[in-house]
Amino acid sequence: MIFASGGERWFAADRPIRRVHGDSSMFIGGISALLLQSLHPLAMAAVAGHSGYKGDPWGRLQRTSYFLAVTTFGRATDAQETIQRIRGIHQRVTGTAPDGRPYAASDPRLLTWVHIAEADSFLRAHTQFGVEPLDQAGRDGYVADMAQIGTELGVPDPPRTEKELTERIAAYRPELASTAEARTAARFLLLNPPLPVIARPPYGLLAAAAVSLLPTWARWPLRLPRLPVGEGAVIRPAGQAVVQAIRWATAAQPSAAAS
């Protein structure tokens, strides 16, 4: 996406959010975020009922990518328009989960879960696979930058430091569960992506790297194994190689930040 030049931005060029969201490690972070988000039964019900992820499996990732690009690199006016459009969509996403509980995408509790799952996943991915990992001040700065976007989207009191983010994720654990919908989504996303044969091997490495970022407690509900030796010796280096290849392939492309 090429953004119009000129105009005020929400984030200056030296802000941590620009470094994280402009790095190819976001490919891994996006997959990991979807897996983590699926563990909340109401969030997963909203996705299954309204996103059509099987018919349009990359649509949600693409929409999230566009949203993050506009809010991170775009003009403040474009960012605000995008926020308002998404808030309008959220008002229409309602329904009943398989367990009988009602859900609404505009529910502050669900908005918060989606927000912190994304922030945590993107930060983990950049720390592990980013070209210039942030120091502690930078990681706290990234969470604070994300908090600004979350607040605009309707998240009440989003975390503003890495420590607060970790604590908020932990506080949600009693609400998370293994559901048939989440396990089906994980299998679809990891094992049966509708991709050309030639694209499946590199995607498989990205997906395996995304799984390696998940905390142990998040893997069992999705029936995802933990292989510490294999992850350290094979999966993460392979994921790093694919991310580096993507970085190299896109190096000649004008970045959103420069447009």
Terminal CA-CA length for the chain? 9
User: So what's the pLDDT on residue 49?
Assistant: 79
For the chain, the domain total comes to 1
For residue 156, report the phi and psi dihedrals to the nearest 5 degrees: -80, 125
**Is 61 part of a structural domain of the chain?**
yes
**Is 2 part of a structural domain of the chain?**
no
CA angle 219, 215, 230 (to 5 degrees): 75
User: So what's the pLDDT on residue 241?
Assistant: 74
Provide the token pair at 44.
């997963």
- CA contacts within 13 A on the Cβ side of 84: 6
Residue from 65, 87, 67 nearest 79 by CA: 67
Question: Rounded CA gap, 173 and 153, in Å?
Answer: 23
Question: Rounded CA gap, 249 and 69, in Å?
Answer: 19
**Is 5 part of a structural domain of the chain?**
no
User: So what's the pLDDT on residue 108?
Assistant: 97
Residue from 72, 78, 106, 102 nearest 92 by CA: 106
The SS3 assignment for 39 reads: coil
**Is 212 part of a structural domain of the chain?**
yes
**Is 9 part of a structural domain of the chain?**
no
65 CB neighbour count, 10 Å cutoff: 16
| Domain limits for position 68 | 16-258
Instruction: List pLDDT tens digits, range 57-92.
Output: 566 677 788 899 999 999 999 999 999 999 999 999
CA 248 to chain centre: 22
Provide the token pair at 133.
């990992």
User: So what's the pLDDT on residue 64?
Assistant: 81
Residue from 29, 253, 236 nearest 125 by CA: 29
Rounded to 10 degrees, the C-alpha dihedral 222/228/233/235 comes to: 10
**Is 112 part of a structural domain of the chain?**
yes
**Burial bucket for residue 149 (CB in 10 Å: 0-12, 13-18, 19+):** buried
For residue 168, report the phi and psi dihedrals to the nearest 5 degrees: -70, -40
**Is 4 part of a structural domain of the chain?**
no
The model carries a pTM of 0.88
User: So what's the pLDDT on residue 257?
Assistant: 42
Q: What is the mean pLDDT of each run of 10 residues along the chain (259 residues)?
A: 69 96 93 95 88 60 86 96 95 94 96 98 96 95 98 97 98 96 90 81 89 93 72 67 75 48
Instruction: List pLDDT tens digits, range 176-199.
Output: 999 999 999 898 888 877 778 888
**Is 1 part of a structural domain of the chain?**
no
